[in-house]
A and B are shown apart, each in its own frame.
Chain A
């Protein structure tokens, strides 16, 4: 771990924490965001705007529940539209959080300590956004609980051959583990907050939430074990959740869905878009809350490199999808390739290739990787690109399948957009609240990165 800490003069790797910090300054800087800093106009304004956008979703959902899924652009043959596109997109975004907190923990990539907290929060909120869609998307949403196997008198039991049932398990497991993992990670910091606040009510609330944490050595010892175990539990989820989500498509026989490459390709895509979202959040946070000392160029650059790497896996997926379409020699599969390039939605496929493959190649240049402004734009670009990818997979595959007579077109309606943009509002509103009420960076984990901690360990 020591090597991480040292800034080697030869390489210009930025440090994980800016020099000059000690236990006290780290704790102060992070806890003050919540406890000391006055509520800024910018924060209030931002929250307000996000909250307004959230109302748009409520409008859309009200209309949806009142009238039926016909308020969307879905039809026969395109039975799935924005709801599934958004579901897959949000679930994918969540993956980066779990990857950072669990896999990087197991791999002892301790630089992740400064970003794991809000990445996990991001996961949680993204899963919440994603989790809404499968319910919205049902023709009879009030019966959504029928997807769960539960004892009932109706003689009813889910069909375990259906990938949608697997999905239910994958997503609910994922949501639960993410929540537990995030909360367990918060406990020592909640206790810190309890100690540091002057207000009685906050002491009470943080105290309750901290579950009686007293910073005793025994607590720490058990905590470390539990956290590691949870990380072990969460790790397979990074791979399994999106694999299962990809089965929704791969199990289907629709040309453009029926592909064995989907699981790894979906996981890579998820991490790709997830890291893009981490950057989209981290860059403004470090700027507006002066956390540049903890979320350093090192983090930014590492995230950018993960993006570049997963981007190439995704590119490999595209290439092999196209190759297999041709090599398979199947009329219908062959047409998928033709239709993506020449069909009415050709523009979305072109845009997807441009956003996901062409633009991110500038990340080969280190200057871009550490330039916050450009990186922010590229991250947005990847998010759009990955959204388009899901659109291409869901809609463009469905709109022209086997029988030419049943080809159709999908045009998203106002309600489609309202709910999609509304969940963006929900997500950002949650992030805004999270920033103000909880320590956005893990204080105790960050402290282990300080030189002081090194000395403790060596003793």
Chain B
């Protein structure tokens, strides 16, 4: 305004100088070539030369506001400042309203401040639900627990669902509807899309495409059907980078239809895996499998199972097996044929012996054995496994077929290819992407990004403004599953209703609501969609009861799948078994194979901004914050590379530079890379961590291929591992840290307590007498046989106890804060080692070395035998940690806890202190839970001192394998007392006479005598 008055110049010229000279198409193109990342869409629009757009880009503020950018006269400035000062003063004069306010007139039912409530809901990964109970403090979800009444969970969870509560409160979550990079609103979006959809309805939605991840939600399936009915020409595509295409294609080969396979491991005497990692959180049914597997690994039961693993890249499953045959992934098919009876292919002597023993065992256990194919093995291997299981009569006993859990078991790779073809052909006018990130994780050969950028209208619904959101015209912030209604199926088909624990933090929308808008029903809420669907399924007057009960229990009764009778397509069965002698071989044995695996912590990259998962040491390598390329020790030696050296991996015409991790047990001439890292727009935790290997992956070879080239390049890369030393050998001796025996040795009385000092070896007599006087004496056992190294306890503990995340650099310095860790040890031949997992929480020593040395009495002993930590008293000498032989104490070297971010304040467990800088902390046996239990017990006046079932530590609660048992050792009937009485119970480093309350049950392996020695 002022400028116009003073200079008399038209305003527009200054604001929009770009208008003067028209854009040259060629230079604009060149500019676009140069620009990368976040500016890309902006360049596109510039290319379009839209006038308004140009103006908008140059005007930081809307019309009228930008005048303030011009020079303000001194007088004008003084006036303005004077006015704002006066107005600032006025606000202070505002009186508080005099109306009295009253606290709860009627206290809401069931809410007692300080006492948490638990609500049933479910977390979904790849369509498979993890049934949960979520702890809620005054309507803030704080902790995820498994639904102990649900047959799939029985209390167990997996790391992804455990960590999802951090995802809810992630401050980097998208908080707004974004249109062309600017904050917009849901209302504006609705306006725009409703106007456009009118055009689309003419063509029956021929220009509409929806791309989502795999889903099992019956309500969503129903809604999508309705949507497709409304727009018959529209198409719904499903793609996730880690999918079950192989399993479904294998089932189609074998049975002509896609089915889900469930394994009844509690009935299996012999388990043979064909590169299957069923003891990993991403495997459908993991929690149940871990539990069933562990149940059959009890050496005292008399029916301990035996597991053989034929696998490529080492996994927890392989390392837990009694016999492991490391082969390249490409050779698994040949071995599967051998198991099925073929004589084709060539095996080395040791391999042949292995296969012969496995065949013999399988034959000896007809109907009580199981062959499990790996998700990343090609359809043929799945078909072979089906054939073998059928031949052995396992079907119906250890193997059960059901309908697929996901609503749409179509081939996802094909689905994506179709979408790209349509996009390229210009058939797509509106693309709605929900919950997936194809611009980051689609296979390199489909060139998704190119086709995608040609679509005129792109809408993204997601939790984050990720790589895909950035390239979309509209981004709508999605609700987290803890904020929205929904339903989902567990791997056995049981439906759980997803009920929200909290109102959407950022007013996000769910896919149900977005579909509602697309179906011209803009008022639709997710709650209505889900409830209406189930009302249709359960008509009748008792629907309210049914609904309440389903919500309360955490599952809908009568939805569990019944076993499905499938008939083998005989021609395929015969073809895949005996007659076959040619295999999809990967060329010569010296050809280097590359394996693509989802990352054990961040999966396909969707959890990459979850700092708990980023800092979670990967089960085998104990790496954090990064992915490395795994190379076997022999190959590494041949190549002359060491861990942390950089190598260049070239395959499928692309190359990626990665650091090396030498992984014991990795087969020769094979490497493994992990998906999900190298995100460009993930958030503060995920962006820039690790290396993106998706460029190496193609639709033809999604999980492995041969012909990779690995060359050493100069330089090293910092890898932060929490366990730098992964053997029990020290000097010339092997330390008795994990004590093991074979089943035979165990039966002949192996002694695991040789070094234990006698109880009377103390200057302070009466330890036991003192503790016996108390009603409770807390103790824990950890069954090393059951532990599958899944890391779930670590995340559960982190969530329960408000444990801080420290970041890669601090992890590298040895300053990670996990109160419980899972140590992995490799013994023996590096190429085919024995490996053991050992969870290590605080041992709560009765004779604790830490307590003695603290000068300020900050760590003291409770009457119930807990080694308490008093944060307030701690001055931070770190002497206790030095003197702790188990090194379970963790120190706040800096202010590691985030005290400022408001979201995290909501997330924390109010029963546990958030620690500040300079104090020591450690496992407390979840003392807050103990106190809560004790108060309840005193209130009720019970004299029953058995706490089993009512009191569980966080690690115990979450453990799917029931490896951790905690309880009252003063009660002879408690589970923990019974376990401690077992012969294989031993105390770690008990020769130091620390008298640990946490003890271990020695690991007993059940090797086949034929294959031993």
Contact = CB atoms under 8 A, between A and B. Distances in A.
Interface of A: 67-70, 73-80, 137-140, 143-144, 146-147, 156-159, 161-165, 168, 248, 251-254, 331-332, 334-335, 338-339, 342, 398, 400-409
B917 A77 contact: no
Interface in B801-845: 810, 813-815, 821, 823-825, 838, 840
B852 A139 contact: no
Contacts of A404: 725-730, 735, 737, 825
A140 B918 contact: yes
Contacts of A409: 724, 814
Interface stretch (B223-231, B234-242, B892-900): B892-900
Contacts of A157: 857
B564 interface: no
Given A140-B875, A335-B731, A404-B730, A74 B887 contact: no
Nearest to B892: A139
Contacts of B729: 404
Contacts, number: 174
B883 A402 contact: no
A403 B810 CA distance: 21
B561 interface: no
Contact of B917 (A68, A80, A162, A164): A68
A147 B890 CA distance: 21
B887 A406 contact: yes
B869 to A, nearest CB: 13
Contacts of B728: 404
A251 to B, nearest CB: 7
A401 B887 contact: yes
A338 B823 CA distance: 24
B886 A159 contact: no
Interface string B714-733: 00000000011111111111
Interface in B853-884: 853-857, 873-879, 881-883
B784 to A, nearest CB: 14
Instruction: Report, as a range, how many residues of chain B touch the other chain.
Output: 35 or more
Contacts of A164: 853, 855, 877, 879
B698 to A, nearest CB: 39
A140 B919 contact: yes
B881 A79 contact: yes
A408 B878 contact: no
A400 B814 CA distance: 13
A170 to B, nearest CB: 13
Contacts of A253: 849, 883, 885, 992
Contact of A69 (B876, B887, B988): B876
Nearest to B731: A338
Given A139-B918, A404-B825, A405-B723, A76 B853 contact: no
A419 to B, nearest CB: 16
A53 B891 CA distance: 31
Contacts of B735: 331-332, 402-404
A248 B885 CA distance: 16
Given A76-B881, A76-B889, A254-B882, A403 B840 contact: yes
The 7 closest A-B pairs by CB, nearest first: A139-B876, A139-B918, A70-B893, A79-B878, A75-B814, A406-B887, A338-B731
A139 B856 contact: no
Given A70-B894, A147-B855, A398-B882, A140 B814 contact: no
B920 interface: yes
A162 B852 contact: yes
A399 B815 CA distance: 14
Interface in B414-443: none
Contacts of A162: 852-855, 879
Given A75-B893, A252-B883, A139 B919 contact: yes
B989 interface: yes
B823 A403 contact: yes
Contacts of A400: 730
Contacts of A74: 878, 893
Contacts of A407: 724-725
A139 B878 contact: yes
Interface in B707-758: 723-733, 735, 737
Given A140-B919, A165-B855, A409-B814, 19 more contacts: A68-B893, A73-B813, A75-B893, A77-B887, A79-B879, A79-B882, A139-B892, A140-B917, A140-B918, A146-B856, A157-B857, A162-B852, A163-B853, A332-B735, A338-B732, A402-B887, A404-B735, A404-B737, A405-B824
B731 A76 contact: no
Contacts of B815: 70, 75-76
B234 to A, nearest CB: 55
Interface string B918-932: 111000000000000
Contact of A401 (B825, B876, B885, B920): B885
B37 to A, nearest CB: 33
A76 B724 CA distance: 12
A168 B855 contact: yes
Given A74-B878, A76-B881, A338-B732, A252 B853 contact: yes
Contacts of B814: 75-78, 408-409
